[in-house]
């Protein structure tokens, strides 16, 4: 059974739009019925433009915000945002790495204290000497020097701060990491080092992860499967080789065509999408991608396509309605 199992998950927000005295009330469908599995020790990459619902998915999976509908199970147990003892026990097994390491760290505390903080909270009986040793091990594992233990976050570089965040996330030996844009705030030259570190740590420690990024190159490097999101929906999901070498959904094709790689130069033309993603408050009827889709047909304007298994992947697009269907994830 999958370690993380998400079924028909929805998160809608009540928002007020400009107009009238108080503004018009409307529903913003940030996540609008997504289903996926993450197997033990594997990484699912979640990719899509800004505002498609990636971070909302991360918060739902960790039980930081409640869902409006659908279910999440972690190791067979339901994940809710109840913040009770069961949730706390589960949260020590599921940790998060954030985009902005400085914002996630306490400026007034030396980094060793911050790395050891989860041990103080979750294992208060641990001897101080053992905790110090464990923090030293964690610092070494992420490539921080022992003599940096007393440093404050502002004394470190962006890459080193992200290493502190990673060490803290690993303090309790989690089974699952949610990485939300973990390198997008770093210099390009540092990004590769942090990604390689995450890969090494995953190989050594065997944790599974949900890896969120708007950058397809990064997602390709880090993931065993990739899910492409558009306006709160998964439109294509499958192994990276299939997604990147032979994308089936027109949106994935456009994203992949924009990756600047020497191998692709001259072979596939860049598909330039017209317009920005529509507002999730006023989602287009039918296929939500139809106003920007170069292949849109009449049916696309009226009937939402279902996410259907084709070979090793799932695709939501009427262009593939005739292809034989495969069942890739259990119905519930």
Contact positions vs ligand ATP (CB under 6 A)? 13, 15, 28, 30, 48, 50-56, 214, 280
With respect to ligand ATP, which residue has the nearer C-beta, 28 or 156? 28
Strand order in the sheet with 225-230: 94-97, 176-180, 208-213, 43-47, 225-230, 233-238, 313-315, 308-310
Distance in angstroms (rounded) separating the CA atoms of residues 214 and 19: 33
Q: Find the DSSP H helices in 123-187.
A: 128-141, 158-170
Binding partner at 283 among ligand SF4, ligand ATP, none, C-beta below 5 to 8 Å by kind = none
Q: Per DSSP, what are the bridge partners of residue 31? A: 11
> What is the rounded distance in angstroms from the CA atom of residue 139 to the CA atom of residue 322?
54
Shortest distance, position 248 Cβ to ligand SF4, whole Å? 9
Extract the tokens encoding 147. 């003599």
The Cα 48–Cα 54 span in angstroms is: 7
| Options 123-131, 206-214, 285-293, 322-330: segment touching ligand SF4 (CB under 6 A) | 285-293
Among ligand SF4, ligand ATP, none, partner that 17 touches (CB below 5 to 8 angstroms by kind): none
Q: Which of 289, 307, 308, 310 binds ligand SF4 (CB under 6 A)?
A: 289
Taking the complex as a whole, the smallest distance from the CB of residue 331 to ligand SF4 amounts, in Å, to 23
Q: Whole-angstrom Cα distance, residue 252 to residue 74?
A: 29
Check: CB of residue 56 under 8 Å from CB of residue 10: no
Distance CA(247)–CA(266), nearest Å, equals: 17
For position 295 contacting ligand SF4 by CB under 6 A, the verdict is yes
The verdict on 319 binding ligand SF4 (CB under 6 A) reads: yes
Q: Using CB under 6 A, pick the residue from 79, 287, 308, 328 that binds ligand SF4.
A: 287
Pick one of 53, 101, 153, 250: the residue that binds ligand SF4 (CB under 6 A). Answer: 250
Instruction: State the Cα–Cα distance between residues 186 and 105, nearest whole angstrom.
Output: 16
- Given ligand SF4, ligand ATP, none, residue 300, with its beta carbon under 5 to 8 Å by kind, binds ligand SF4
Instruction: Give residue for tokens 């929906």.
Output: 233
141 backbone φψ class: left, alpha, beta (φ>0; ψ -120 to 50): alpha
Give the one entry of ligand SF4, ligand ATP, none that residue 53 binds, where binding means its C-beta sits below a cut-off of 5 to 8 angstroms depending on kind. Answer: ligand ATP
For the bound state, the minimum distance from the C-beta of residue 40 to ligand ATP, rounded and expressed in Å, comes to 25
Smaller CB separation from ligand ATP, 19 or 125: 19
Which residue(s) pair with 74 in the sheet?
Answer: 4, 77
3-class DSSP state of 188: helix
Residue 55: which of ligand ATP, ligand SF4, none does it interact with, CB under 5 to 8 A by kind? ligand ATP
Among ligand ATP, ligand SF4, none, residue 317 binds (CB under 5-8 Å by kind)? ligand SF4
Question: Does residue number 149 form part of the binding site for ligand SF4 (CB under 6 A)?
Answer: no
Nearer to ligand ATP, 30 or 328 (CB): 30
Report the nearest approach of ligand ATP to the CB of residue 25 (Å): 12
Residue of 305, 308, 310, 314 interacting with ligand SF4 (CB under 6 A): 305
Least CB distance to ligand ATP at residue 29 (A): 8
**Residue 318 in contact with ligand SF4, rule: CB under 6 A:** yes
Do the strands 43-47 and 69-74 form a parallel or antiparallel pair, or are they unpaired? Answer: unpaired
DSSP 276: P
Residue among 6, 8, 24, 5 nearest 16 (CA): 24
Least distance from ligand SF4 to the Cβ atom of residue 281, Å: 20
In which element (H, E) is residue 195 found?
helix 188-205
Q: Which residues bind ligand SF4 (CB under 6 A)?
A: 249-250, 287, 289-290, 293, 295-297, 300, 305, 317-319
């Amino acid at each position: 059974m999958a370690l993380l199992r998400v079924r028909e998950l929805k998160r809608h927000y009540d928002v007020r739009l400009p107009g009238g005295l108080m503004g018009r009330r409307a529903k913003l469908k940030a996540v609008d019925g997504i289903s996926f599995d993450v197997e033990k020790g594997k990484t699912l990459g979640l990719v899509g433009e800004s505002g498609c619902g990636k971070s909302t998915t991360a918060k739902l999976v960790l039980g930081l915000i409640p869902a409006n509908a659908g279910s999440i199970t972690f190791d067979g147990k339901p994940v809710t945002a109840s913040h009770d003892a069961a949730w706390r026990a589960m949260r020590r097994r599921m940790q998060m790495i954030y985009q902005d390491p400085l914002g996630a760290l306490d400026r007034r505390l030396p980094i060793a204290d911050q790395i050891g903080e989860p041990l103080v909270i979750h294992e208060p009986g641990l001897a101080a000497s053992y905790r110090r040793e464990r923090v030293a091990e964690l610092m070494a594992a992420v490539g921080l020097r022992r003599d940096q233990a007393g440093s404050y976050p502002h004394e470190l570089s962006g890459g080193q701060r992200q290493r502190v965040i990673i060490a803290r996330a690993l303090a309790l030996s989690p089974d699952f990491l949610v990485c939300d844009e973990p390198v997008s705030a770093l210099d390009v030259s540092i990004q590769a080092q942090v990604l390689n570190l995450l890969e090494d740590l995953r190989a050594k420690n065997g944790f599974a992860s949900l890896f969120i990024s708007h950058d397809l190159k990064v997602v390709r490097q880090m993931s065993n499967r990739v899910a492409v999101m558009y306006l709160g929906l998964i439109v294509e999901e499958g192994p990276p080789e299939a997604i990147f070498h032979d994308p089936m959904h027109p949106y994935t094709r456009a994203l992949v065509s924009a990756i600047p790689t020497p191998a692709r130069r001259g072979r596939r033309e860049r598909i330039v999408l017209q317009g920005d993603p529509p507002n999730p408050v006023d989602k287009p009827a039918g296929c939500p991608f139809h106003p920007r889709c170069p292949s849109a047909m009449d049916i696309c304007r009226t009937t939402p396509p279902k996410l259907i298994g084709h070979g090793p992947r799932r695709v939501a697009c009427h262009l593939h309605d005739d292809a034989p269907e495969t069942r890739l994830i259990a119905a519930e």
